[in-house]
Amino acid sequence: MPTKRFIAAAALAGALLFSLPLFAEPLTGQTTPSAAPASSLTPNLMGSLSVFAPAAALAQSAIPAKLTVPSAANGAGWGDDDDVDGDGMPNAGVANGAVASLAADTSDLRKTLIGLAMQLRDIRYVRGGRDPSTGFDCSGFVRYVFAHAVGLDLPTNSASQFLAGLKVSRDDMKPGDLVFFRTAGKRGQGRISHVGIYIANGQFIHSPSRGKTVRVDSLDESYWAQRFAGAKRPGALARS
């Protein structure tokens, strides 16, 4: 027969066993409960934690603002390799009264493009410039005209613009095609470093070099003829 001491011990053990759930409940009024071990979390909560991945958001927030859009004041990163050598470039272009007229069958898209380019004549050259308010370099001028006339976003320097277009022979050039030149290094032997927009009858409009303004020049002029590297047609004009 169990002794009184044994019966008392069993009763105490039973009371403790049935009271354990009470200790698992949070204390009334507690504001900062201690963290539960991962094994005690419910399956739904564990699932939600496992799919939370902030890495992409953190990567974006870590990108410095200065790497997104270059400053308009200095044009950093825009056309930095353009127009590095303008020695010998003519000081004057085609007289306004001698600028070629577009053919009657020129598409409306090309007319719009040339029309905007001609409105920008006499804006000063600024290396890295890409806006009428600050000035243009050669690729900044071309890029501005295409963006605002036909909504085409061209690369930011002449060498990249040369790679982006469809090759066009000189005899097949149309208004709005891009004309490229090798103005750096030996005559006609350097890299692509200058670009303009073809008008008609061998004439093109461009932003030449320091001390000059946007103007029309002729491909037949000896300086440009010796440095002509070819013509390209941006995709937006391929069917126009």
Residue 188: per-residue pLDDT: 54
Band of pLDDT at residue 66, cut at 50, 70 and 90: very low
- Residue 155 to residue 149: CA distance in whole angstroms: 16
Q: What is the DSSP letter of 215?
A: E
The CATH class for the domain spanning 107-237 reads: alpha beta
Tell me the mean pLDDT in the region 31-39: 45
Angle at the Cα of 119 from the Cα atoms of 165 and 219, rounded to 5 degrees: 50
Residue 83: per-residue pLDDT: 62
Instruction: Please determine, for residue 115, whether its predicted confidence score (pLDDT) is greater than 90.
Output: yes
Residue 164: per-residue pLDDT: 87
Q: What share of the chain is helix, strand, coil (3-state, %, to 5)?
A: 35, 15, 50
Residue 205: per-residue pLDDT: 98
Q: Give every CB contact of residue 85 below 8 A, 6+ residues apart in sequence.
A: 183, 184, 185, 190, 193
Band of pLDDT at residue 236, cut at 50, 70 and 90: confident
- Residue 113 to residue 120: CA distance in whole angstroms: 11
- Asked if 224 and 182 touch (Cβ cutoff 8 Å), the reply is no
Band of pLDDT at residue 28, cut at 50, 70 and 90: very low
Express as a percent the part of the chain with pLDDT over 70.
Answer: 62
Q: Which value, in Å, is the radius of gyration of the alpha carbons in the chain? A: 36
Residues with a catalytic annotation lie at 138, 194, 206
Tokens of 210: 């320091």
- Asked if 206 and 140 touch (Cβ cutoff 8 Å), the reply is no
How many residues are there in the chain?
240
Tell me the mean pLDDT in the region 42-52: 37
Tell me the mean pLDDT in the region 98-106: 94
Instruction: Please determine, for residue 79, whether its predicted confidence score (pLDDT) is greater than 80.
Output: no
Q: Any idea where the domains of the chain sit in the sequence?
A: 107-237
Tell me the mean pLDDT in the region 64-81: 40
What Å distances lie between residue 155 and 3, 24, 48, 164, 178, CA to CA? 97, 65, 43, 8, 13
Band of pLDDT at residue 45, cut at 50, 70 and 90: very low
Tokens of 116: 């905007």
H or E element: which one contains 216?
strand 215-218
